[in-house]
Structure 1
Amino acid sequence: MRSWATPSVPSLPGVGAIPTLYDTATGDARPTDVTNGAQLYVCGITPYDATHLGHANTYLAFDTLNRVWRDAGVEVAYAQNTTDVDDPLLERAAATNVDWRELAESQTDLFRSDMQHLRVIPPDHYIAVTDMVSPIGEAVAVLLEAGFAYRVETLDSSAGDDVYFDVDRAARDTSWHLGIESRLDAATMMHFFSERGGDPDRIGKRNELDPLLWRSARDGEPSWPGAAGSGRPGWHIECTVIARDHLTLPLSVQGGGSDLVFPHHEMSAGHATALTGEPFASHYAHAGMVAYQGEKMSKSLGNLVKVSELIASEIDPRAIRLALLSHHYRSDWEWFDDDVYGAIARLSHWAEWAAGAVAGTASTSLLDGLRAALADDLDTPAAVALVETAVQSGATPTTVDVDAVDALLGIPLR
């Protein structure tokens, strides 16, 4: 599946440092492992509504990581999925009387446009789940054969058996176990599992927290023939197989929003370890949640500030990016409608500063400062503050200073 156009990224003198990144699994910040090059997997959208600023906040965080790795001379392999068949998508399609495939295609196109406007470097592998159903089904069959999965009878006479992952068997026979990445207690796991797509009350499951691997075909739902029977994939196994088949495991970083820590990322890691015998990722990194009108921005609540709508109102996409990067990627924060106007004013001052740049080829104190700030757990607020200080100082910038803002923060000023 196509992604979107790659923005130009200026070359800078010298190289930056390998970034240190906070790891959810260990609770501390440490250097990212790029032994096999940087292997980055970031969970993509379920395309049933437009990109909101919470999504954009996550993808800008990992775009910053991508830029910092590249500036350090690291070869980056980046994969991202789009979950173009799933219950929320099917429900929205039914509610709006739109074919689910048309809804997925239109919203994926809008996402591509949003990412291109925000100058996000596209993934090397942008993969639709519907293009991976066969290998996902084969992986589920492997887990069944190895005893890490089991079938559960359905009450629907039109359906076959669903397939579930056995978390207790995986904990006994692999290095993975519940809590290995999330570090959550049992009660919190149960709360999030119920809230985020799990079915703890499903009769026939061995453990309430066992996640669905394969949903057998039901009348009126899309399904595909597969090694595990006719049906469609569960949520977590999709990302496992896409990452396994398009990147080198263990991943350097498994990334996404903090609402994916459990169950999605933890279960994806469990599936991967059961399939390969190896850890899924060296680092688990998560962006914070963005609130609006006092609540976390979410499709279910409808309190969305959409990137496409801001752009349609003639807001400069660079200002949207600057407003988001002014917050640390791991923080939870609230968006206010006037935030973007403060960013527009700041962007105007930065552009005036950049217009007076003189030619330069050598590293500068601003470039060194930006590299240090971003290598320290992607501290974009510190980086923004450094640029602001340089602008306010009245000193004439060099073209290297201006290029550094573009290459590392993704904000072109010329």
Structure 2
Amino acid sequence: MHAWPASEVPALPGKGRDLRIHDTATGGRITLDPGPVARIYVCGITPYDATHMGHAATYNAFDLVQRVWLDTKRQVHYVQNVTDVDDPLLERAVRDGEDWTALAERETALFREDMTALRMLPPKHYIGAVEAIPGIVPLVERLRDAGAAYELEGDVYFSVEADPHFGEVSGLDAEAMRLLSAERGGDPERVGKKNPLDPMLWMAAREGEPSWDGGSLGAGRPGWHIECVAIALDHLGMGFDVQGGGSDLAFPHHEMGASHAQALTGEHPFARAYVHAGMVGLDGEKMSKSRGNLVFVSTLRREGVDPAAIRLALLSHHYRSDWEWTDQVLADAVARLGRWRAAVSRPDGPSADALVEEVREALADDLDAATALAAVDRWAECQRSEGGTDEGAPGLVSRTVDALLGVAL
């Protein structure tokens, strides 16, 4: 599966700072110090509807991670999956009387268009669950053969007891896990499981649903968590730098994925940092497909909203915060974009050397984009009110905003 085209990232003078970021597993900030190649895995979409602001906010956060790393002169090895077979996708296809593969392909294509418009840097490897199945089956067989998984009426479940580190990613107690498992795709009430929290690794073929050859597992399709584990281990290996996604993925998805990988390899941790973006709401509720309270990137683009303004709206909130999308949020972003473009359109201006370092420091401090935006606002206001004589300043501001914030002026 192919990703989307990359926009050029301008080179800035000097060198950026190492990223200090909040790690869900430890509950505090850690300084990431990757080697020459920084490794990141971000969980992708289940393509049964268009990209909404919640998606965009999440991918914007991890785009900033990439940009901070690139500014430190590192290479970035970024991997993202597409869950192109799963219950919600199949249910939507049945509801709409559409072939599930056509639905997945159409929505994945639209997601690529949205990511391109928002100038999100693409992953090096963009892998669908279906194409990963040949690599998933052997992992499930290994877990089963090692006693870390068991069969139940043809389905194969992972035993959470097989990983002594289970629970360390989310830090939740058993009751909280059980409630979230029921809410987020698990089946804690199924009779016969060794532990209510045990997640499915391989679902035996169901009538009327797609299935694949699972070797000794029989025909079926993979569970949600093992999909990402197989892709991450194949392309990044154990101990990669950042596992990323929305905060609703900390449990069960990232918790279970870590345990799968740790039980498979005997190594710990799966990822050095677990980083989670906050939820975006609309009308007092989390923006989600199940609720239908969505603002789509593609809809705003069709209405003529500049993608750069959409990106500025996302950047105006800290990536870990839960926040509400409103018309005013977008209006403020449109106005800010206009001020910035007017400021850099002049032939000279106030020196921007300090601004570059302010933006770098803000982003290195747990991706504090709002502080970075405020620094650019101050330069733009100084340009408006006082002007300056530095002929290189407007161009340097434009390159800084592009390179570190992903906004083209």
Instruction: Give the TM-score range, shorter chain.
Output: over 0.9
2:394 matches 1:405: no
- Aligned residue number for residue 157 of structure 1: none
Q: Which residue of 2 aligns with 1:302?
A: 292
Moved more, 248-257 or 90-99: 248-257
Q: Is the 8 A contact 2:23 2:29 kept in 1?
A: yes
Contact 1:6 1:122 in 2 (8 A): yes
What's the RMSD between the two structures over aligned residues?
1.4
Letter in structure 1 aligned against 2:95 = A
Paired letter, 1:170 = D
Aligned pairs for 1:149-168 within 5 A: 149-153=149-153, 161-168=154-161
The sequence identity of aligned pairs, in percent, is 55
Q: Does 1:327 align with 2:317?
A: yes
Paired AA for residue 351 in structure 1: R
**Structure 1 residue 83: Cα displacement:** 0.1
1:337-368 deviation digits (Å, cap 9, x = unpaired): 232121111101100101115499x9710001
Pair 1:216-2:204 in alignment:
yes
Q: How does 1:221-370 map to 2 (within 5 A)?
A: 221-227=209-215, 228-278=217-267, 279-358=269-348, 364-370=353-359
Aligned to 2:29: 29
Q: Which residue of 1 aligns with 2:176?
A: 188
Q: Which amino acid aligns with 1:412?
A: A
Offset at 1:73?
A: 1.0
Alpha-carbon deviation of 1:35? 3.0
Deviations 1:243-274 (A, max 9, x none): 00011321100000000000000000000101
Change (3 A) 1:27 1:61: same
Q: Is the 8 A contact 1:25 1:181 kept in 2?
A: yes
Equivalences for residues 97-176 of structure 1 within 5 A? 97-153=97-153, 161-171=154-164, 176=165
- 8 Å Cα contact 1:357/1:402 also seen in 2: no
- Give a deviation string over 1:96-127, Cα, whole Å, max 9, x none: 00000000000000000000000000000000
Matched, 1:372 2:365: no
- CA apart distance, 1:36: 6.1
- DSSP 3-state at the match of 2:228: helix
Alpha-carbon distance in structure 2 between the residues aligned to 1:241 and 1:210? 18
Paired with 1:365 and 1:36, the residues of 2 have a C-alpha distance of: 27
**Match of 1:91?**
91
SS in 1 for 2:244: strand
Preserved contact between residue 279 and residue 322 of structure 2 (Cα < 8 Å)? yes
> TM-score with structure 1 length normalisation?
0.95
Cα displacement (A) at 1:169? 2.6
Which shifted more, 240-249 or 192-201?
240-249
Moved more, 70-79 or 337-346: 337-346
Q: Which runs of 5+ in 1 are unaligned?
A: 154-160
Whether the 8 Å contact between 1:33 and 1:282 is mirrored in structure 2 is no
Q: How many residues align?
A: 400
Letter in 2 for 1:405: V
Q: Which moved more, 1:184-193 or 1:316-325?
A: 184-193
Letter paired with 1:20 = R
